[in-house]
Amino acid sequence: MGSYKDKVVVVTGAGGGLGKAHAIEFAKRGAKVVVNDLGGAGDGTGKSNMADVVVEEIRAMGGEAIANKASVSDKEGARSIIDDAVNAYGTIDVLVNNAGILRDKSFKNMDMSDWDVVQNVHLNGTAYVTKAAWKLMWEKSYGRILFTSSSSGIFGNFGQANYGAAKMGMLGFMNVLAIEGLSKNIRVNTLAPAAETRLIGTIPGVEVNPDNPDPMRHPRLVSPAVLLLCDDDAPTNKTIHAGNGQFYTSATFINQALQFGADVTYEELLQKKEALLDMSNIEEMNGLIRLKIREQQANDNN
């Protein structure tokens, strides 16, 4: 059963697609799962009993699960997800922030109400649920938190300014919480998945069959990365891309800094433009690396 036996795992947006696949894989390994899903359509409208269906499926295979049908974008609803976990199972060990919607349109044609609702579900919703779980994890000195990003944010994708901005925000959120949770054994990572889901079907011109996805685009092919990023020996401050049978890591890199004096001018910088933009000599940089550099500098000065 590995490290998930009797772990309490919350998966948001687990009524179908990726979230359902994640929830089932945790349950197979003995975890007690809170299946959250409002049950709305891919654009966030409506509601249904999708979460109940997944719970029934988990119980039928001998697993343990309960349903929560609150919206992550509502602060009280987000709190209820974690409250239900604690009331049913006494704690929370793992939080997988997966809930999301799509409202695609080029930025020129996008109504800003579609910007707001996507930010509220993805970025604010992730923050609300994470905030509700954070204190509990802090007090018990254990927690595994996963954010769900996307290549649309990390690399960019036409027609997804709202979605891409929210998804890139996950990396900034991760970078900070990985530092803040370090001393309390709270590890925070990010997933960038690729799969055939009903959300993809909301993109104009894209046809999918979420009930019978292409075997190589099935959501379950993403779940191994989720379990890796949430287990006892999980890393922290990492972004893993998963889907189509492939897994890889992306990171932020910087080149060698150009050194100028206090009177640097635009003209001087312009003369060094090629060197400034040259990425042939780079190194990885993230919050934890910066923290180690500062600690080393402090030790060197003592």
- Read off the tokens for 49: 């009993």
Main-chain dihedrals φ then ψ at residue 174, nearest 5 degrees: -60, -45
Is-contact 125 73, C-beta < 8 A? yes
Q: In a 3-state reduction of DSSP, which class is residue 96?
A: strand
Q: In a 3-state reduction of DSSP, which class is residue 259?
A: coil
d(C-alpha 260, C-alpha 40), whole Å: 54
Instruction: Show the DSSP H helices in 120-248 as ranges.
Output: 125-140, 151-154, 161-180, 223-230
Q: Are strands 143-148 and 94-96 parallel, antiparallel or unpaired?
A: parallel
Q: H or E segment at 191?
A: strand 186-193
Name the CA radius of gyration of the chain, rounded: 21
- Read off the tokens for 247: 């897994």
d(C-alpha 105, C-alpha 130), whole Å: 29
* CA 224-205-42 angle, 5° bins: 55
What are the catalytic residues? 163
Residue type, 188: V
d(C-alpha 67, C-alpha 166), whole Å: 26
d(C-alpha 47, C-alpha 131), whole Å: 24
